Structure 1
Amino acid sequence: MNPSASKKKLMAMDSTVRPGAAPPKSPTGDTKNAIQAMIMGLIVVVTVGYMFLWIMLPTNVYRLKWLPKIQAKANTTYFGTQGTNILIFTFPVLFVAALGCVYLHLRKKSTVNGGHYHHSNGENNGLAAWKRPMIIKGLGVISLIELAFLVMFVALIAWYFSLSLRIKFHNITPMSAAKTGEKVWQAKLDATGLRFGIAGNICLAFLFFPVARGSSVLQLFGLTSEASIKYHMWMGHITMAVLTAHGVCYVIYWSVTHQISQMLKWPKMGESNVAGEIALLAGLAMWATTFSGIRRKFFELFFYTHYLYIVFMLFFLLHAGLGHFSYGLASFYLFLVDRYLRFLQSRQNVRLVSARILPGQTLELNFSKAAGLTYTPTSIMFLNVPSISKLQWHPFTITSSCNLEPEKLSVIIKGEVSWTNKLHQLLSSPSSSVDHLAVSVEGPYGPSSTDFLRHDLLVMVSGGSGITPFISIIRELIYTSETQNYKTPSILLIPAFKNSSDLTVLNLILPIHISPSQISNLDLQIDAYVTREKQPPSSSSEEEASTKKNITTIWFKPKPTDSPISPVLGQNGWLWLGAIISASFMMYLVLIGIITRYYFYPKDIHHDGMNMMMMYSSSSKYVVNLLFLCVSIVFVATVVFLWNKKQNAMENKQIQHLEGATPEASPASLFYNADRELESGAPQQSLAFSTNVHYGERPDLKRILFERKESSVGVLVCGPKKMRHEVANICSSGLGANLHFESISFSW
């Protein structure tokens, strides 16, 4: 691989493109765009139809007219009672997910010159209004679009609950209640509890979408894994509130009807109340640790408690049965696929090449990366260091650019919690002589594209370690300004730090191997603020010497078994993911069809229907069904993963052969030598001319933002909640129509 040759090729391709304009489209490009448009059109149609079915679910039209016709064809001897719900609520979602993988693959291939930018000359005013931030107590900073989705979700639950309950109440009369030995209000309480349970089931149908990090569904909606966590939190609170009401209603009902023994019911056939109680207790334990005060103070308790989702889903299946479980099977299925792929990726130790230790409890870890791994600015990666904790995984923003640094992936870690402090002590302690550190990763995860180029100016406001996602944006814009004829926006970076020692992180903004000419086209201004110190600790020359002295670089000796960070499913990952979803689900359908037709209900055994049903308990059928689901995912995903792992190993071997042998060094020696150029300080000298440091004050963000008169100003903020709210209030005040707000938050 020859980066300089690739760069010349890119420059030649761009030579006929006028600055600021999109490249001319080729006939092939037009065909791809047409195919993408057709796929997206089909996805929209299926999605709208899927949502329409949820709206129609409680109506008499669906229950009395549509459902019997569908059941007559779907509830066969191969799929049982779950056939209908699989057809209506599972298949459309998995179809969209698989088709979305094809769409994302085509979009990735058609991205201009391998970049990740979406270039537009402006933003629709109506859409811009919907994206304006607002602050709602309990929800934080959200846009009108996000609020609309939340309101529609709550409205869907309220619509189902109210309409189905009204229809049921209409059929409850004194005569009908007397037949069962109940009073009218008791019968209505029973009906209310049941409707709460089904409403909670509907909530579960959407609960797992936001936590499938690598899902194509998130990418289709323009969501990232960290940004979608808030949706999971909102839906989780609603789900547990509804299911708790379901449980409370039935406890009261059994008490007043003298059937409290029902709480211990686990019959061979039918629903198990004990299983429902176990699922509810597991859910309540998870719910209790999700509230902000507990989650922040006892994060490990929150983290480990959340593994109870396994208990919750297993016993929910045993309680609700296959028919109701199929309501939410689609999102849970996509989550299982994603979770297993993450598990496979995390089993491999990655090649950690070097670490830079900075003052202020700051680390920069540099990994070897496969050239085929691409990611966008603001992407994150989860790290696990077994020597600190085998179970804990922590997300960190990737600060490197996959285009500017094709063989290197970097993250910056600030020692702020127990895990990060232990990592800093492990590497910085004078008594430690670490020459190898085992590290596993999951990811990277990030947006499929970014739209920073549509702005004339980018104002990046950060607090503390919140500067890290902006480093990746700046590095990507350096690459764009150098290799493409797009006009890059000017950049105003406003980082706020508590102490002057934290200023050393500014040395990490520019890659060490970069030359001053490479950043000549980038208009970058840095106004840094040190809030707890009134003046610089020493003169500039002494400060510079102290900074160099206090920055320590550790070189590791990776083991032969350590591999560069590679895409988990190869360069055609989206296509492979679509294949896994499709093939594993078809395998699952075949397995449950065979076991249902020839094992649970064989026609060649002469028993009546009731005796035949009693041969196998409901719980055994449910467990076998779930087992086949997991087996299908594990088998197909493992085969695809091992195939791509073999291909990655062959590519890495070819790269190592081209690089040649390096004495006692890893194949990443290209940036070994680059890092040793730190003493030259050329990038930092170039950066120093555009940096102003203000001591003993906080940035006057309102004045800074309102003074900007550019037609389009992108305002990005990452830092403490108070800072994000302040910037959101300024951008939503209506006094700055040119301000376009975007919050990058990892402190959920």
Structure 2
Amino acid sequence: MEKIRAVIKLLLMLVILGITFIWIMMPTGAYRNKWWPNIKATVNSTYFGTQGATMLIFTFPVLFVASLGCVYLHLGKKLNDYKKESNWKINQSVWKRPLLVKGSLGIVSNIELALFFTFIVLLIWSLANYIHLYFAKITPKSAAAKGLKVWQYKLDESALAIAVVGNIAFSFLFYPVARASSVLPLFGLTSEVSIKYHIWLGNIVVILFTAHGLCYIIFWGVTKHINKMLSWDFADVSNVAGEIALLIMLAIRATSIPRIRRKMFELFYYAHHLYFLAVVFFILHVGFSFACITLPGFYIFLIDRFLRFLQSRQKVRLTSARLLPCQTVELNFSKSRGLNYNPTSTIFVNVPSISKLQWHPFTVTSSSNLDPENLSVVIKGEGRWTTKLYELISSPSSMDHLEVSVEGPYGPASTDFLRHDTLVMVSGGSGITPFISIIRDLVFTSTKMDDKAPRVILVAAFKNSSDLTMLDVILPASAGTLYDISKLQLQIEAFVTREKEPTTHDNKAMIRDVRFKPRSTDAPISAILGPSSWLWLGAIIASSFVVFLVSTGVITRYYVYPIDRNTGAIFSWSLKSVLYILVVCFSIATTASASVLWNKKHNAMEAMQIQNMGTPRELESLPHQSLAQVTNVYYGERPNLKKMLLECKGSSVGVVVCGPTELSKEVAAICGSGLAKNLHFQSFSFSW
């Protein structure tokens, strides 16, 4: 199986290098004047028309990588990669070390900055080449033939070149936000980590497309053709559709400004759902043939989005809640044994009694190894929605049921925490939640597996002493088997920053458990595509694309071609684009729905087995070594992170941080300073 993975990996690398080579060569004269005409002449047919060549060069290779990548990830899951990675010593620490800590880009590592710089170089290279190619045909005679001055003709061509370059950034925009995509895990990424890449790309797209639109408005103004802003050509570029797409993008970007996003999250959230209209009008603007360049990323995102929609229709079984005095609640759900996830995974939660439309992401604090039939999340009441949830569950009126839907969990395809000698986790406030899942998984590893778990140091900063009760959820409230925490070298350093001495209140006595009575229609949380979800996802990508090709071929051959004859100048661009958009949606909806229905029967049978087994029993006794024995609490001070991190011994010290931005930047600055070469930085940020 390892040899098969090696062959698949080599093939994927070759295809990805080929895709990269095409993007580099695309703006050159050799590609536009020789390669592309030959490809079009070879591929052009009565079945796929003018978009056939574009789909072959840009769409098919990416979907091939996504499908084959699913097979690669499935085999890796079967081989239990986390165990293999524990023996892999870090040799890329220099590339992963934080280089930029302050600035608009946030915390950026060496390799991220290198890739970002490379992408900017690609955009500059493309823009320079396109302008060179377009300007080469401009002469006073050619300008006069169009009734233009030379500078006006150059402005027209410059606006077009900017649009084509903007299309490059737009092609990559949707990859980072596909939560269950196979593309990101191939590069060791998750959608949570990649959100900043989506932000970078979004800013570039808006800047370039806005510049493109302004250049044309100026051009139409100086040539006295401003009425072209209202044109919707039959078989050419539709200006109105482009303007609508740009306005939608500007609205999305405006609501994404950090100050607006934090204060009016709902406005930001709902505005982002206009993305579909933006893409539709973009396709209507440029035509489906040209849009096939950007289709792969959006195609993968649509599959992910439709699967999330299907999963969100199911109400899940909420078994209990644990209320902490620090306005924090731990929700415990029933889950199927076939659902496995890695530490630091997230789920999106919807509570219709609070809001039918709002979905909020939370870190999964449970471990699928330690507690195979339960999934838990810890939610701190810091915003309007989370505060309402806490008040709803803690209200004196008896509540025996709470209707909840979830999407996920989503997380890394594999983890590498075992490869470190020491693991230092630095948290601020509710930032402790991803570390709870890591500790629980390491407890299982140290107890049941042969691998030696690293020494774990948890540095947790809280505002008030009541927040210390969040440490009590490190161990699950219930489990089928007791695990010995003493086998894990765990040390907890807790800091209460706003109180100088312990309070007289017994916060632990204020912890309250709430039991729920699930309804018969509630189901355990399960993988929407079953235990072999990667294989099913690959099958959906491949089969839906086949359905798309067959449907497109039939429509083109028997409806479009008899009218258009592959001239691209007779059949309506808008009608053709609408037809093919509907075909894309139909292909994804049918294949994804069939896959979900196929797995639904298995999930239902497993849900019945869990229901017959009843609720899990309470822990009969505390582990041999209680958390209190490994916890030191400091009042009225903040942790001296620099001293604590530099004193860590070992050839490999993993430093993971989650919390306020300033805390993350402080830790990143220490790890990136080069004072200790054994520090390997990683951060979790859940700023949506």
TM over 0.5, yes or no?
yes
Q: 2:618 aligns with which of 666, 669, 674?
A: 674
For 1:466, the aligned partner's letter is G
Partner of 2:546: 586
Q: 2:475 aligns with which of 493, 498, 510?
A: 510
Partner of 1:662: none
SS at match of 2:562: coil
Task: List per-residue Cα deviations over 1:425-445 (Å, max 9, x = no partner).
Answer: 111122x32211111111111
**Map 1:155-170 → 2, pairs under 5 A:** 155-170=121-136
For 2:618, the aligned partner's letter is A
Deviation at residue 169 of structure 1 after TM alignment: 1.2
* CA distance in structure 2 between the partners assigned to 1:608 and 1:73 by the alignment: 16
2:484–2:625 contact (8 Å) kept in structure 1: no
* CA distance in structure 2 between the partners assigned to 1:425 and 1:513 by the alignment: 24
Change (3 A) 1:703 1:203: same
Partner of 2:561: 601
Partner of 1:86: 55
2:102–2:665 contact (8 Å) kept in structure 1: no
Partner of 2:23: 54
Deviation at residue 289 of structure 1 after TM alignment: 1.2
1:632 aligns with 2:587: yes
1:208 aligns with 2:177: no
Change (3 A) 1:439 1:116: farther
Partner of 2:532: 572
Partner of 2:41: 72
Change (3 A) 1:183 1:429: same
1:131 aligns with 2:96: yes
1:510–1:684 contact (8 Å) kept in structure 2: no
Deviation at residue 683 of structure 1 after TM alignment: 4.5
Partner of 2:415: 450
* CA distance in structure 1 between the partners assigned to 2:48 and 2:391 by the alignment: 57
Partner of 1:622: 577
1:272–1:319 contact (8 Å) kept in structure 2: yes
1:122 aligns with 2:62: no
Partner of 2:11: 42
Partner of 1:714: 654
SS at match of 2:107: strand
For 2:515, the aligned partner's letter is W
Q: Scaled by the length of structure 1, what TM-score is found?
A: 0.90
For 1:585, the aligned partner's letter is F
Q: 2:215 aligns with which of 249, 256, 278?
A: 249
1:732 aligns with 2:672: yes
For 1:56, the aligned partner's letter is M
* CA distance in structure 1 between the partners assigned to 2:209 and 2:108 by the alignment: 26
For 2:442, the aligned partner's letter is L
SS at match of 1:327: coil
Change (3 A) 1:516 1:537: farther
1:380–1:446 contact (8 Å) kept in structure 2: yes
Partner of 1:426: 392
**Map 1:356-435 → 2, pairs under 5 A:** 356-430=322-396, 432-435=397-400
2:547–2:587 contact (8 Å) kept in structure 1: yes
Q: 2:186 aligns with which of 192, 195, 220?
A: 220
* CA distance in structure 2 between the partners assigned to 1:609 and 1:381 by the alignment: 47
For 1:122, the aligned partner's letter is K
For 1:746, the aligned partner's letter is F
Partner of 2:512: 552
Deviation at residue 268 of structure 1 after TM alignment: 2.1
1:384–1:441 contact (8 Å) kept in structure 2: yes
2:50–2:566 contact (8 Å) kept in structure 1: no
Partner of 1:468: 433
Deviation at residue 684 of structure 1 after TM alignment: 9.9
Q: 1:693 aligns with which of 633, 643, 651?
A: 633
Deviation at residue 204 of structure 1 after TM alignment: 1.2
SS at match of 2:310: helix
Partner of 1:15: none
SS at match of 1:51: helix
* CA distance in structure 2 between the partners assigned to 1:155 and 1:278 by the alignment: 30
Q: Scaled by the length of structure 2, what TM-score is found?
A: 0.97
1:378–1:446 contact (8 Å) kept in structure 2: yes
Q: RMSD in angstroms over aligned alpha carbons?
A: 1.7
Task: List per-residue Cα deviations over 1:207-264 (Å, max 9, x = no partner).
Answer: 1100110000011111011001111000000011000000000000000000001001
Mark the runs of 5 or more structure 1 residues left unpaired by the alignment.
1-31, 660-666
For 1:321, the aligned partner's letter is G
Q: 1:285 aligns with which of 247, 251, 256?
A: 251
Deviation at residue 328 of structure 1 after TM alignment: 0.5
2:370–2:440 contact (8 Å) kept in structure 1: yes
Q: 1:97 aligns with which of 47, 53, 66?
A: 66
Task: List per-residue Cα deviations over 1:151-202 (Å, max 9, x = no partner).
Answer: 1111111111111101211221111111111000000000010111111111
Deviation at residue 709 of structure 1 after TM alignment: 2.1
1:116–1:449 contact (8 Å) kept in structure 2: no
For 1:261, the aligned partner's letter is N
Change (3 A) 1:172 1:613: closer
* CA distance in structure 2 between the partners assigned to 1:442 and 1:265 by the alignment: 42
Change (3 A) 1:684 1:310: farther
**Map 1:313-328 → 2, pairs under 5 A:** 313-328=279-294
The number of residue pairs the alignment matches comes to: 686
* CA distance in structure 2 between the partners assigned to 1:393 and 1:91 by the alignment: 33
SS at match of 1:226: helix
Deviation at residue 203 of structure 1 after TM alignment: 1.2
Partner of 1:23: none
Change (3 A) 1:204 1:285: same
Deviation at residue 685 of structure 1 after TM alignment: 7.0
1:201–1:324 contact (8 Å) kept in structure 2: no
SS at match of 1:715: strand
**Map 1:333-344 → 2, pairs under 5 A:** 333-344=299-310
Runs of 4+ in structure 1 off by over 4 angstroms are 513-517, 607-610
Task: List per-residue Cα deviations over 1:473-525 (Å, max 9, x = no partner).
Answer: 00000000011111111111110000001000111111244788611211111
Task: List per-residue Cα deviations over 1:261-283 (Å, max 9, x = no partner).
Answer: 10010122212111111111001
1:117–1:453 contact (8 Å) kept in structure 2: no
For 1:734, the aligned partner's letter is G
1:183 aligns with 2:183: no
SS at match of 2:297: helix
Partner of 1:5: none
2:484–2:624 contact (8 Å) kept in structure 1: no
* CA distance in structure 1 between the partners assigned to 2:11 and 2:608 by the alignment: 42
Mark the runs of 5 or more structure 2 residues left unpaired by the alignment.
none
Change (3 A) 1:81 1:583: same
1:144 aligns with 2:114: no
Task: List per-residue Cα deviations over 1:74-113 (Å, max 9, x = no partner).
Answer: 221211111111000110000000000000111111116x
* CA distance in structure 1 between the partners assigned to 2:531 and 2:668 by the alignment: 38
Q: 2:463 aligns with which of 498, 504, 521?
A: 498
* CA distance in structure 2 between the partners assigned to 1:601 and 1:220 by the alignment: 39
* CA distance in structure 2 between the partners assigned to 1:609 and 1:208 by the alignment: 30
1:650 aligns with 2:616: no
Change (3 A) 1:517 1:229: closer
Deviation at residue 548 of structure 1 after TM alignment: 3.7
